[in-house]
């Protein structure tokens, strides 16, 4: 009975790890989509940021619905530097563990895209 209980605990831990990995990949994909959308936007800097933020939120809503997506905070910014304009999206995420003694998984990730001036 103890062996069965331990194997079930390890099964839950393995499933939890797989979900964490999926969540990290989903956040990364959302950031990539956001910077792509913001970098091709032809409007002002605030329109680029709004486009990036909107696209990131849309992709996260598609891929991380429910409680796992609640722990993700996003931030987009447009830097129109000297000759090199870049669109940056950052995320801070906290995925809660399924078993209380296991700590929550926290990470930060960013995506950057260079903005090409097509005019």
Instruction: Set out the domains of the chain in order of their start, with CATH numbers.
Output: 2-115 (3.10.450)
**Cα–Cα distance, 70 to 60 (Å, whole number):** 10
pLDDT tens digits, one per residue of 23-69: 999 999 999 999 999 988 888 888 999 999 999 999 999 999 888 88
What pLDDT is recorded for position 119?
A: 56
pLDDT at 95: 92
What is the rounded end-to-end Cα distance, in angstroms, of the chain? 71
Neighbours of 94 (CB within 10 A): 13
3-state secondary structure of 36: helix
Could you report the per-residue pLDDT of 72-116, keeping only the tens digit for each? 999 999 987 766 789 999 999 999 888 888 888 999 999 999 887
Token duo for residue 81: 């530097």
Q: Which two tokens stand for residue 37?
A: 């959308």
> Using an 8 Å Cβ cutoff, are 54 and 41 in contact?
no
What is the pLDDT, as a whole number, of residue 25?
Answer: 95
Percent over 70 (pLDDT), the chain: 96
């Amino acid at each position: 009975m103890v062996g069965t209980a331990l194997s079930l605990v390890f099964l839950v831990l393995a499933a939890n790890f797989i979900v964490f990995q999926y969540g990290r990949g989903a956040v990364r994909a959302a950031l990539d989509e956001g910077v792509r959308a913001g970098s091709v936007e032809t409007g002002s800097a605030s329109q680029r940021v709004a486009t990036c933020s909107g696209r990131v939120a849309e992709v996260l809503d598609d891929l991380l619905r429910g409680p796992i997506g609640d722990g993700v905070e996003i931030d987009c910014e447009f830097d129109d530097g000297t000759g090199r304009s870049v669109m940056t999206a950052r995320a801070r995420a906290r995925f809660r563990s399924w078993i209380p003694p296991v700590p929550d998984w926290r990470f930060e990730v960013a995506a950057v895209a260079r903005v090409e001036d097509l005019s």
